[in-house]
Amino acid sequence: MAYEPVVGLEVHVQLKTVSKMFCGCTTEFGGAPNSHTCPVCLGFPGTLPVLNRRALVEAIRVALAVGCKVSDKVKFHRKNYFYPDLPKDYQISQYDEPLSENGHLKIKTGGGEKTIRIKRVHMEEDAGKLIHEEGGDSSFVDFNRSGMPLLEIVSEPDINSPEEAYQYLTDLKLLLRYLDVSDCDMEKGSLRCDANISIRKKGETGLGTKAEVKNMNSFKAVKSALEFEFERQSKCLETGERIVQETRLWNPDKGITASMRSKEEAHDYRYFPEPDLVPFTLQGDLVDEERKNLPELPEARKGRFIGALGLSGYDAEVLVQDKATADYFEECVKFYNKPKIISNWLMGDVSAYLNSKNLSAGDSKLKPQGLAGLLKEVDSGKISGKMAKDIIIEMLDTGKGAAAIISEKGLSQISDTGELEKFAEETIAENAKTAEDFLKGKDNALMFLVGQVMKKTKGKANPAVVNKILRDKLSKK
Ligand SMILES: [Zn+2]
């Protein structure tokens, strides 16, 4: 392909505060329409906004985690435009002096690691929501979302494929989850993404005319919309059609983007400083405090899983991709110090079960201590690895302990050598030819004999013990 896409992403994240950005209304999702409102978020004349300190702190945490320089000044602007879901006819946002600038996010691509620069991270408030009557000609407005605290994270146009866009969003979401500043639930609208895309000939460095694509409600939709736009703009260039700067809406049913309106420029919004929120300077060491309080982030955690716990790069990568699973894993290691074995069980049987029930590791009835208990039973020889695979399903279903299930079902493995010796002698007598084959050097023959003893004990024998007994008895022949 002679062209390459040039993409910048604007991600809106709803912060996880208890109350809205500038008033005391709840941020709880849902509720009867307009029940989570007050004169401030309804834009009544004479009301005054007050900045939510928690929202500011969470914004600073995100800015620091993506390596942005945090400004010591906090200043808000009014972004003026009319829309029926915007009661004040302006949105309080940040403009020429955003909270933070010049960060970056490292993403994994097919060709290795790539750094996507982050232009700015700033705070703003959300608008309400229009609900269009189905089949009718009325629209309703719900202001419950009006004034919700948002963070806008704007990337530089460093993304050069739909896959990179998908990866950037995935890695950014993971980071936000680790910071615990948003539930990042796209279905509830707490994570939204708009994409700016233009194309250029490969090897060129200039930027073409961009289209802004909106209305994508999953990372997959972002990828599909960018694939479509890339094709569309490539065709325009080939046929000599002019690409216009515009906002386009993604239509998931048709799999296309369609022109919505010509794109506004910043000056269309007549930004001016918000007179009701006086600019202020961040006092003392708030930013340094938050820097110190940042949790261990995914990359660092992955490095520790490899370095200190001896996991493979692949295992560590899979575990850190889901914070709940990684937390579960670490908790488990506290009770059973064989990280590799725990990771095998988590990535195998446990995650297969949880995925099938659409559960997170944190919601599992099988607690880390329970999994550790089961693995200890295997180590002690009381049950086989194969038995453990059945027992773990019951533990996941019921939350019962391994020991209880083993005794209830009489499942424990026979490790009593006296009992096993009897079975071994019987087996050798019944399979004289195979026994002879083993003595002549056929190692496979022993496997067969072990299998026969397992059969006699209905799978309850400890295979390692059976193996040893058979070898001892045969060597004496
Ligand atoms: Zn309110």
Cα(80) to ligand 1 centroid in Å equals 20
3-state secondary structure 258-305: EEEEECCCHHHHCCEECCCCCCEECCCCHHHHHHHHCCCCHHHHHHHH
* CATH number listed for the domain at residues 417-475: 1.10.10.410
Distance 149 CA to ligand 1 centre (A): 11
Q: What is the chain's mean pLDDT, rounded? A: 92
CA of 43 to the centre of ligand 1 (A): 9
Q: pLDDT band at residue 407, thresholds of 50, 70 and 90?
A: confident
Interval 97-121: pLDDT, tens: 999 999 999 998 888 889 999 999 9
Per residue in 28-46, pLDDT (tens digit) is 998 999 999 999 999 999 9
Whole-number Å distance, alpha carbon 59 to ligand 1 midpoint, is 20
Measuring CA to CA, how many Å separate 201 from each of 61, 164, 204, 265? 38, 18, 6, 25
pTM: 0.82
Residue 1 predicted with pLDDT over 60 = no
- Ligand 1 centre distance from Cα of residue 38 (Å): 4
Give residues with Cβ within 8 angstroms of 61, minimum separation 6: 179, 181, 290, 293, 294
Residue 307 has pLDDT above 60, yes or no: yes
Q: Is 60 exceeded by the pLDDT of residue 435?
A: yes
Q: Give the domain ranges of the chain.
A: 3-287, 296-408, 417-475
What's the gap in Å between 259 CA and the centre of ligand 1?
A: 34
**How far is the CA of 52 from the CAs of 25, 26, 49, 74, in angstroms?**
11, 12, 9, 13
**Least confident piece of the model among 56-70, 187-201, 317-331, 402-416:** 402-416
Burial class (CB in 10 A: 0-12, 13-18, 19+), 115: exposed
206 pLDDT more than 60? yes
Q: Report percent pLDDT > 90 for the chain.
A: 69
CA of 322 to the centre of ligand 1 (A): 34
The tokens for 89 are 């006819």
Residue 334 confidence (pLDDT) above 70: yes
Question: What's the 52 CA to ligand 1 centre distance in angstroms?
Answer: 12
- The helix or strand, by DSSP H or E, that contains position 212, with its residue range, turns out to be strand 211-216
Distance (angstroms) between ligand 1 centre and the Cα of 50 equals 11
Residue matched to tokens 């996991």: 311
- Mean pLDDT over 49-78 rounds to 96
DSSP H helix total and E strand total for the chain:
16, 16
Least confident of 259-273, 368-382, 391-405: 259-273
Mean pLDDT calculated for residue range 234-260: 91
Quick one: CA dihedral 287, 293, 297, 300, positive or negative? Answer: positive
Mean pLDDT of all residues in 48-63? 97
Q: Which long-range contacts (CB under 8 A, 24 or more apart) does 379-385 make?
A: 381/413, 381/415, 381/462, 381/464, 381/465, 382/406, 382/412, 382/413, 382/415, 383/411, 383/412, 383/413, 384/413, 384/459, 384/462, 384/463
Q: Please, how many CA atoms are within 13 Å of residue 120, restricted to the half-sphere of its CB?
A: 12
- What number is the average pLDDT over the span 177-187? 91
**36 CA to centre of ligand 1 in angstroms:** 7
If you average pLDDT over residues 15-32, what whole number do you get?
96
CA dist 463 and 374 (Å) reads 18
**Tokens 């997959």 sit at which residue?**
220
Residue 143 per-residue DSSP state: G
Structure tokens at 358: 């659409």
Structure-model confidence comparison of residues 460 and 301, the more confident one: 301
pLDDT of residue 235: 93
Q: Give yes or no for a contact between 79 and 91, defined as CB atoms under 8 angstroms apart.
A: yes
Evaluate if residue 434 carries a pLDDT over 60. yes
In 3D, which of 158, 106, 118 has the Cα closest to residue 299? 106
Whether 195 contacts 215, CB under 8 Å: no
Calculate how far, in angstroms, residue 179's C-alpha sits from the geometric centre of ligand 1: 26
Taking the centre of ligand 1 as the mean of its atom positions, its distance from the CA of residue 275, in whole angstroms, is 19
- Ligand 1 centroid to residue 278 C-alpha, Å: 20
Distance 186 CA to ligand 1 centre (A): 23
At which residue do the structure tokens 């200043």 appear?
75
CA-based torsion, 305, 310, 315, 317: positive or negative: positive
The answer to whether residue 459 scores a pLDDT higher than 80 is no
Q: What are the pLDDT digits (tens) for 161-176? A: 999 999 999 999 999 9
Q: Comparing C-alpha atoms, which of 19, 11, 43, 12 is closest to residue 143? A: 43
Q: Measured between alpha carbons, how far is 39 from 27 in angstroms, rounded to an integer? A: 16
Q: How far is the CA of 37 from the centre of ligand 1 (A)?
A: 4
pLDDT of residue 263: 66
Out of 31-35, 64-68, 262-266, which region has the weakest mean confidence (pLDDT)? 262-266
| pLDDT (mean) for 424-430 | 90
Query: Ligand 1 centroid vs 214 CA: distance in angstroms?
Result: 27
How buried is residue 206: exposed, middle or buried, by Cβ count under 10 Å (0-12/13-18/19+)? exposed
Rounded CA-CA distance 133/136 in Å is 5
